[in-house]
Amino acid sequence: MARALALLAAGTVTGILLVGPGATSGGSARANLLRGSTHEGSFASRALGGRVHYSVYLPPGYGNPTTRYPVVYFLHGLPASPQAYQSITAIASAVEGSGHEAIVVGMQGSRQGDEDPEWLDRGPGRRWETATAVELVSVIDHRYRTVPARSGRILIGVSAGGYGATLIAAHHPATYSVIESWSGYFHPTDPTGTRALDLGTPEANDWADFHKLIPTLKRRFAPYLKTTYYSFYVGTNDSRFRAENEETSRELRAAGLAHVYFRVYPGGHEWTLWAQHARAWVGSALSAAAPPRRA
């Protein structure tokens, strides 16, 4: 894990992440300060029964057709508007500030009438996890010059997106090599983040509960244990999620899982905490992933 943690020194980044109730979105206003470029895209999703949107940042060197890049997939917080996927500027800025080059993709995680799906597969036309982990990854690998392998894929989420990143990666061990949760949680919650969701059956509830999956991770990740890096962070004053993050850290240690890093930082459940450390956290993730390579 040493190289994955090499960039965990304090860093700052401009831009604001949209993370649900009470959050402020301002990152897109600073997109013109990026050296790379941002674009919009969409694809027909069978999992969601219609078109789903994404935003993409391409690094300044992308014009060189001989280079492929790792991809940082970013999951925004919930509840959120259908346009929340556009809030990738802070992540792109963190990539540029870290000294690395990567593609950044923000996935749409909500829509009108479905503002808090928790990044889960909830039934026909509401299979958000499948749209994210299967369909989106396939689309991005076909449309852009990615490093089209597990080693070149990073999954980062904030708040509900941190829950989504953790759970999706646990369900799809062959897809992502680096996972980060920023002030996330580990079981599905209602829009307030204070009550657990009942998904209808004990099996569905267990499948959506990362605590229940931890004892199975060594088996599920058996071919990838030495090449999977999971980091999660939370604020000292995060009254909703700090205790569960600390509980999860204890459970992962008890399970004997290596390449896991957890830290509590001064701050609350707020963009100021994430913006202060985004460059270091993103840099750490990219240090653990495959670097750009010749196409």
Q: Which of 76, 67, 135, 133 is nearest to 103 (CA)?
A: 67
Give the pLDDT score at 14: 33
φ and ψ at 234, to 5 degrees?
A: -155, 160
Round to whole Å and give the CA distance between 224 and 233. Answer: 22
| 246 residue type, one letter | E
Q: How many CB atoms are closer than 10 A to CB 252?
A: 18
Give the pLDDT score at 4: 34
Contact 13, 293 (CB under 8 A): no
Contact 283, 12 (CB under 8 A): no
Mean pLDDT by 10 residues, the chain (295 residues): 32 38 41 89 98 97 94 97 95 97 98 95 96 98 98 98 98 98 97 92 97 97 96 98 98 94 98 96 98 93
Give the pLDDT score at 8: 32
| 21 residue type, one letter | P
Give the pLDDT score at 243: 98
Round to whole Å and give the CA distance between 155 and 137. Answer: 11
* DSSP letters spanning 5-73: GTT-S----------STT----GGGGGGG-SSEEEEEEEEETTTTEEEEEEEEE-GGGG-TTEEB-EEE
Helices and strands (DSSP H and E) totals, the chain: 9, 10
